[in-house]
Amino acid sequence: MNQSSASGGRDTIAALSTAPGRAAIAVIRISGPQAGATLDALAGARPAPRRASFRALRHPRTSEVVDQGVALWLPGPASATGEDLCELQIHGGRATVAATLDAVLSVEGVRMAEPGEFTRRAFLSGRMDLAEVEGLADLLSAETENQRRQALLQSSGALSARIEGWREQLISAMALVEAGIDFSDEGEVTEHARSLARDELSTLAGDMNAALADTRAERLRDGFRVAIVGRSNAGKSSLLNALARREAAIVAAEPGTTRDVIEVHLDLEGLPVILVDTAGIRDAGDAAEREGVRRAGQQAAAADLVLWLEDPADRAEPEVGGTVWRVTNKIDLADQPFADTDHRISARTGAGLDVLISAIAAAARDALSSEDVGVTRARHRDALRTAVASLDRCLSGWDDLADEIVAELLRRAAEELGRITGRVGVEDVLDKLFASFCIGK
């Protein structure tokens, strides 16, 4: 990213903010110091702030009408980016969008936006904090209803409010400790201040440790992983295809057909479930198949749930750990009831699949559902873990540590919480984060 865009404001940026391709309406956004002049050049006198106005849009160089549409003028700082911003709502044909963008970019000082640059400017101007930006990124990529709800909560500031509440408690306790330093010659004041601080910090440590222990929000964002594992020719790929309701994996009678990991993303009752088809576990005959077997073991170890699929004619004890359900396939070909199995299905006829799907959805709901907003990324968890470590060290050595050391430990904990919302030290994550956004957002 160039220097002007990284600084958040010297250039004026423009981009199509709706999906490319043919559509009824397309929206072009323009943000920066030349936004008003660009609107004047295309639409004549700019409309009143925050009032939609129907205008003929002309190319500044030729005066040719490129389209008729709605113009909006949103002067900063009360705009999405904190800068002067305008929107052109035009017809969504490819040629119309191209002609209008060409007209916009013909204005001196206007350039195409980079991925995520509008949101980056919102962050740099204080319109959004980093946790809200990450929530917006998750909202854009949400595939299920529960992911949407969680991302909307985070993008609306629910996680930030929780983090800032903890941070304010740390600062309050730090003020009490520092009061003891300032009034060190008055023993009763020092003792009372430290007692109040310790009570507050003990409660806070409990809340933060509980948040660390709760992984549901992060798992909801990533999805509930279900690995289909078993011996060769048990019907793993057939089961994957049956659950996905499409031909996602190659099915053949020859053992060892699946040699790599195949993933299918499902929406089960609003919850994200990732099905993973793996190579059959057996004594592999070549290097490629041995690698497939090794990866099958890795996937089983990383899964939230393992479906150990077995053929009635080749039953074996599960060779993996974790949460394992024994699923007997090909019951249409078997006479035995197999009372020791968890589910009996036929991937070919569909028998038992509805019950299995409902059970998987229930397991995902138990693992992922939560009414509280929680930490959703490894970055959040790392910062929170470091903050808790400082707080725990402070409390464990409370009677032995000097006030100055206690205050420093609390300051470090508060600083780590500030990293989550972007108050301090986040430059190393900005480029990677905003690169994940589409152009125009």
Binding site for (6S)-5-formyl-5,6,7,8-tetrahydrofolate: residue ranges?
Answer: 29, 87, 127, 441
| Binding site as annotated, residues for Mg(2+) | 237, 258
Identify the three-state secondary structure at position 314: strand
CA angle 422, 151, 9 (to 5 degrees): 45
DSSP state letter for 23: E
| 59, 102 Cβ separation under 8 angstroms | yes
| 156, 132 Cβ separation under 8 angstroms | yes
| 9, 79 Cβ separation under 8 angstroms | no
Q: Report the distance separating Cα 30 and Cα 87, nearest Å.
A: 6
| 148, 36 Cβ separation under 8 angstroms | no
Q: Which residues pair with 305 in a beta bridge?
A: 226
Q: Report the distance separating Cα 273 and Cα 361, nearest Å.
A: 8
Task: Name the token pair of 177.
Answer: 């400790």
Task: Name the token pair of 367.
Answer: 């693992």
Which residue, 195, 189, 166, is CA-closest to 406?
Answer: 195
List Cβ neighbours of 19 (8 Å cut-off, separation of 6 or more).
none
Where do the DSSP E strands lie in 113-261? 224-230
| Binding site as annotated, residues | 29, 87, 127, 233-238, 252-258, 277-280, 346-348, 441
Q: Report the distance separating Cα 371 and Cα 3, nearest Å.
A: 42
Is residue 60 reached through a cis peptide bond, with omega within 30 degrees of 0 on the bond before it?
no
Backbone conformation region of residue 317, classed left if phi is above 0, alpha if psi is from -120 to 50, else beta:
beta
H helices present in 270-352, as ranges? 287-302
Q: How far is CA 240 from CA 40, 289, 348, 399, in A?
A: 57, 19, 11, 59
| Binding site as annotated, residues for GTP | 233-238, 252-258, 277-280, 346-348
Where do the DSSP E strands lie in 93-188? 110-112
Residue the block writes with tokens 């404001």: 9
List Cβ neighbours of 16 (8 Å cut-off, separation of 6 or more).
26, 27, 28, 97, 101, 439, 440
